[in-house]
Amino acid sequence: MIKNEKKILGLTAASHNLVHLYEGVLPPIIPLVMVQFSTDYFHLGIVVSIFSYAFGIGSLPAGWLSDRVAPIRLIALYLFGAGLLSVFMYPVQNIWIYGMMMGLVGLLCSIYHPASNTLISHAITEKGQAFGIHGIAGSLGVAIAPVLSAWLGSGFGWEAPHIIYGIMGILAGAFALRIHAPVRKRPVYDAANPPSGMDRIAIVRLIIFYCSAGFLGLTYKGIMTFLPVYMGEQVQLSFLSADKLTLGGTVATFTLLSGAVGQYIGGRLVDRFGPEKIYAVAIGAGALSVWGMAVTTNWLLILAAVTYAFFYFATQPVQNFMLSRYLPLHRHGIGFGTQFFITFGVGSTAAAVSGYIADHHGLPSIFYAMTGCFAVSSVLSLVLIYYNRLAQNRAEDGVARS
C-alpha cells in the first residue's frame, strides 16, 4: 500500500469512527439533557429519530453525488459541516432547536458512507484489507461513544462531547483537503449491450432481505438509544464507584467492543459457509441475547449484552455479501444506498417508539419489544434460506440444460 493510499485509509478510518461518535453522542448523556431541557425519554427519542432519519434518507442522494463529485471532497464537506454544527451546540437552550441541529448533523453525516465506500473502492489497491480496517474503525466508534460521551458529559457538561467531536471533525476536514485522490471517470452506457435484469425469485428474495434488514435496523436504534442509561440503572458493581451516567457509558462501551470481533468473524465465515445460514444463526442468537438483557441484571446482563453486540454486528458483513449476490453489478450502488436508508432511516423509528415504551412501561420493556423485532427478522431469514435454494436449483437446471 503506497503512502497516499495509507493517507486515504487513515482519513476514512478516522472519519468512520467519528461518524459513529456523532451518531452515538446523545444516548449516554440523556440524563443530563433531560435536566437541561426539562424533557422526557419520548422527546429525546424523537431527537434521536430526527438525526437517524436524516442520516438514513440522505444516503440516497449522497450515493448519487458520489458518482459525480470527487468523494474526498464530499467527505471534507461532511467533516467540516458536522464539526461546525457540533461546536455551535454550546449556546442551544431549546429542545426543538437542539433537535433541528442534530437533524442537520445527521444529514451531513449521511454523506459519509456512500462517499467513503466509493473512495476506497477506486483509490486503494488492497480493497479487502482496507474495507476490513474501515469496518473495524466504525465498530470501535460505536463502542467508545458511550464511555467517552458519558465521561465528557459527566465531567464538563452535556455540551462537552458535542464540542470535542466537532473540533475533531474540523481537524479531520483540514487533513482531507491535503490529500490527493484520483477522480473516477463515469462509465459509458452501451445501449447495444444493456445490463441484465433480475428474475422473479431474485426480486422476491431481495424484498425479503430488505424487510429482514429493516427489522434489524429497528433493533439497532431501539437498543443503542437507551443501552447506556439502561446499563446505568440495571448494573451495580461494588468495585466501581462511578455515578450512574459514567457507569452506564463504561459498561455499554465494554459490551459493544465485542461487535468489532463479530464483524471480523462474520466476514471470515461468509467465505466458507452459506451466508443465509450464518445470517439466520446470528439473528436467532441475537434474539435470545436481547431477551436475556430484558430479564437479567449485573454480570448476567453484561454477558447478554456482549453476546448481543457480537451477533448483531456479525450480521453486517454477511448482509453486504448477500446483497452483492442478490443484485446485478450495475445496481450495487442503489442497492447499498437503499439498505442504509432502511436500516438507519426507517429503523430510527424505534428510537421514539422505545422512548414512549420506556416512559409508560419502564426501560426493560424496550428489550422485550426489540426481542420481537429480532424474532420477525429471524423468521424472514429462514424464508431467505428457502428462496436461496430455489435460486440455486434454477441455476443448476440452467447449467444442466445448456
pLDDT at position 397 over 90: no
Which comes out higher in pLDDT, residue 400 or 84?
84
Mean pLDDT of the chain: 83
Q: Coil, strand, or helix at residue 93?
A: coil
pLDDT of residue 333: 61
Hey, where are the domains in the chain?
Answer: 1-181, 196-396
Q: Is 204 exposed, middle or buried (0-12, 13-18, 19+ CB in 10 A)?
A: middle
Arithmetic mean of pLDDT, 370-381: 95
Q: In the structure, what pLDDT confidence band is assigned to residue 191 with cuts at 50, 70 and 90?
A: very low
pTM for this one?
0.74
SS3 134: helix
| pLDDT of 194 higher than 60 | no
Helix (H/G/I), strand (E/B), else coil: 273: coil
Q: CATH topology of 1-181 equal to that of 196-396?
A: yes
pLDDT 10s digits, 251-286? 777 777 888 888 778 777 876 777 889 999 999 999
The grid coordinates of residue 203 equal 426480486
> How many angstroms separate the CA atoms of 64 and 61, rounded?
5
- In this model, does residue 196 exceed pLDDT 70? no
Mean pLDDT, range 328-344, rounded to an integer? 73
pLDDT in tens, 59-89: 888 877 877 788 889 999 999 999 999 999 9
What is the DSSP secondary-structure string of 308-340?
A: HHHHHHHHHHHHHHHHHHHS-GGGHHHHHHHHH
The whole-number average pLDDT for the span 216-245 is: 79
Write out pLDDT tens, residues 133-182: 777 888 888 888 888 998 899 889 999 999 999 999 999 999 999 887 66
Q: CA torsion, points 8, 10, 13, 14, in degrees to nearest 10?
A: -120
- Residue written as cell 459527566? 154
- pLDDT above 70 covers a percentage of the chain that reads 86
Assigned superfamily of 196-396: MFS general substrate transporter like domains (1.20.1250.20)
Q: Which helix (H) or strand (E) holds 16?
A: helix 3-23
Least confident of 3-12, 240-249, 302-311: 240-249
Q: Is the pLDDT of residue 299 over 50?
A: yes
Longest dimension (CA), the chain: 72
How far apart (Å, rounded) are the C-alpha atoms in residues 399 and 402?
5
Alpha helices in 235-297 (DSSP H): 244-256, 258-269, 275-295
- Write out pLDDT tens, residues 350-368: 878 888 898 899 989 999 9
Is the C-alpha dihedral spanning 62, 337, 221, 176 positive or negative? negative
Identify whether the C-beta of residue 258 lies closer than 8 Å to the C-beta of residue 303. Answer: no
pLDDT at position 321 is 75
pLDDT of residue 242: 63
221 pLDDT higher than 50: yes
- Write the DSSP string, 176-188: HTT---PPPPPPP
Burial class of 347 by CB neighbour count within 10 A (0 to 12, 13 to 18, 19+): buried
The model's confidence at residue 291, banded by pLDDT at 50, 70 and 90, is very high
Cell numbers that stand for 167 in this block: 473540533
pLDDT score at 42: 85
Is residue 233 pLDDT above 50, yes or no?
A: yes
**Is 117's pLDDT higher than 60?**
yes
1-181, what's its fold?
Growth Hormone; Chain: A; (1.20.1250)
- How high is the pLDDT of residue 224? 82
Whole-number Å distance between alpha carbons of 119 and 70: 8
